[in-house]
Chain A
């Protein structure tokens, strides 16, 4: 399979916790990475290899994976976290990469 499935939109109250999920068969073999994109800007990496944060990414961002589902959790969401979030992984062939359709996060 070459698909990663994400919910199109999720909302969270300021300061609360939200989880964004990504489903796909390839996640049983390959770790997911997660990217944040704000309007008019390039994506930035927020989680790699399932649960690792690059330097400079706040520790309220965390990742996990179980079976065919990868998750990005924001604990104590801030207004600046409002953005589109994309998961990525190799596909089941291992010779292609695929992005999820993206989740638009709204912080209320």
Chain B
């Protein structure tokens, strides 16, 4: 059974930093891309960052580029999101999602339950 367990969410002051973790199990972690998606309170889903299966390629939304960094440790089956210079608008539930691919379409086939990041003074 695929499981994704996020952790690390917390209340942090504006300008602060936080590291989120997502521990994966139930699949061969090192062969799949992983993604972070966030959802601000009462809002829709927003793609944040994606990392390739090897970690060699990373992609970040314009809204977080230069402040957030996605990484992974395939020996620990864990993906991370390092967040710096946090702003109030980064307040959201952050979901970890497993990537998959079919033809000309990739998609997120499993999601964690999310971890809440609140940026406030």
A: which residues have CB within 8 A of B? 29-33, 35, 37, 42-45, 48-50, 52, 54, 84, 86, 88-90, 95-102
Interface string of B105-120 (1 = CB under 8 A from A): 1111111111000000
Contacts of B35 in A (CB 8 A): 97
Interface string of B74-110 (1 = CB under 8 A from A): 0000000000000000000001000010111111111
Instruction: Out of B50, B100, B114, name the residue touching A42 (CB < 8 Å).
Output: B114
Q: How far is the CA of A97 from the CA of B34 in the complex (A)?
A: 12
Q: How far is the CA of A84 from the CA of B106 in the complex (A)?
A: 21
Query: Cβ of A48 and Cβ of B109 under 8 Å apart?
Result: yes
19 contacts between A and B (CB under 8 A): A31-B104, A33-B106, A35-B45, A42-B113, A42-B114, A43-B95, A43-B108, A45-B109, A48-B107, A48-B109, A49-B102, A49-B104, A88-B45, A88-B107, A89-B105, A97-B35, A99-B44, A101-B44, A102-B44
Extra A-B contacts (5), CB below 8 Å, given A45-B109, A48-B100, A99-B45: A33-B106, A33-B107, A44-B111, A84-B44, A88-B107
Q: How far is the CA of A59 from the CA of B102 in the complex (A)?
A: 19
Rounded to whole Å, the gap between the CB of A6 and the closest CB of chain B is 9
Contacts of A100 in B (CB 8 A): 44
Contacts of A96 in B (CB 8 A): 47, 59, 61-62
Rounded to whole Å, the gap between the CB of A84 and the closest CB of chain B is 8
Q: How far is the CA of A97 from the CA of B112 in the complex (A)?
A: 18
Residue of A nearest to B95 (CB): A42
Interface string of B32-60 (1 = CB under 8 A from A): 00010100000011110010000000010
Instruction: Out of A32, A52, A88, A98, name the residue touching B108 (CB < 8 Å).
Output: A88
